[in-house]
Amino acid sequence: MKISIIGSGNIGGNLGKHWAKVGHEVMFSSRHPEELKSMADEVGAKTGNVEETAAFGEVILLAIPYGKVPDLAQQIGSLDNKILIDAANPYPHRDGDVAQKVIDDESQTATGYVASQFPGAKTVKAFNSVFYQVFAEQAFQEGDDRIAVQVCSDDEQAKETVKQLIEDIGFAPQDLGDLSKGVLFEPNAPLYNKNLKIGEAKKLLSQIQ
């Protein structure tokens, strides 16, 4: 698949490299794309500015600071019919009012807000709940050794595509249901940053449901 990485830092850089290694076509974005060239060359990926990268992929991984999402949406415009994977987490100390408002608004989930900024996209929440070093160091495992990656969406087909992308790089998708279930793996929620193997993650879920 053609995958755009918007925000090629700890999360985007590691996931994009893994996907390129297993044969996906990857473009990394930066506000300074020339600085990503050696990382991209290592795995045969492309680099671009934010607009070029948003236009490139069928799937967009959004891995930037949550507070920058509204400005980014203004900058790149619509992502109509693309799959948008939201990996961002709202932290008021880093993301200011954008994060605080969504935390205070009980009618809104973190990824629900991101989806509202890209109304034509098929939004999937994934990769928010696993520490980046785990993505870097524990990819390409098999069976019960795989670390669980929580995922949810209102679009079943888009979610299936993202679950396959999780499996492609040796992690285990843990499907929690529709987008409202994102509250289970937002910051401070029971499944947030536990970095569990899939069997342990399922057990924990059964204990909290």
Instruction: Name the one residue in this structure whose structure tokens are 């959004």.
Output: 62
Residue 77 makes contact with ligand NAP by CB under 6 A: no
Q: How far is the CB of 52 from ligand NAP (least distance, A)?
A: 12
Give the span between the Cα atoms of 145 and 73, in whole angstroms. 37
Applying CB under 6 A, which of residues 57, 65, 112, 182 lies at the interface with ligand NAP? 65
Strand 148-153 and strand 122-126: pairing?
antiparallel
Applying CB under 6 A, which of residues 15, 50, 124, 169 lies at the interface with ligand NAP? 50
Residue 113 makes contact with ligand NAP by CB under 6 A: no
Residue 9 makes contact with ligand NAP by CB under 6 A: yes
Q: How far is the CB of 203 from ligand NAP (least distance, A)?
A: 22
Q: Write the DSSP string, 70-105.
A: HHHHHHH---TT-EEEE-----HHHHHHHHHHHHH-
Residue 88 makes contact with ligand NAP by CB under 6 A: yes
CB nearer to ligand NAP: pick between 78 and 156? 78
Residue 66 makes contact with ligand NAP by CB under 6 A: yes
Q: Which of 131, 132, 112, 134 is nearest to 123 (CA)?
A: 112
Residue 157 CA neighbour count, 13 Å, CB half: 6
Residue 138 makes contact with ligand NAP by CB under 6 A: no
Going edge to edge, which strands form the sheet with 148-153? 46-48, 25-29, 2-6, 59-62, 83-86, 122-126, 148-153, 172-177
Residue 20 makes contact with ligand NAP by CB under 6 A: no
Give the span between the Cα atoms of 150 and 130, in whole angstroms. 8
Amino acid occupying residue 190: P
Q: And the tokens for 121?
A: 């996209």
Residue 11 makes contact with ligand NAP by CB under 6 A: yes
Of 127-135, 136-144, 169-177, 199-207, the window that binds ligand NAP (rule: CB under 6 A) is 127-135
Of 111-119, 128-136, 172-180, 197-205, the window that binds ligand NAP (rule: CB under 6 A) is 128-136
Binding positions for ligand NAP, rule: CB under 6 A = 7-12, 30-32, 50, 63-66, 68, 71-72, 87-89, 128, 131-132
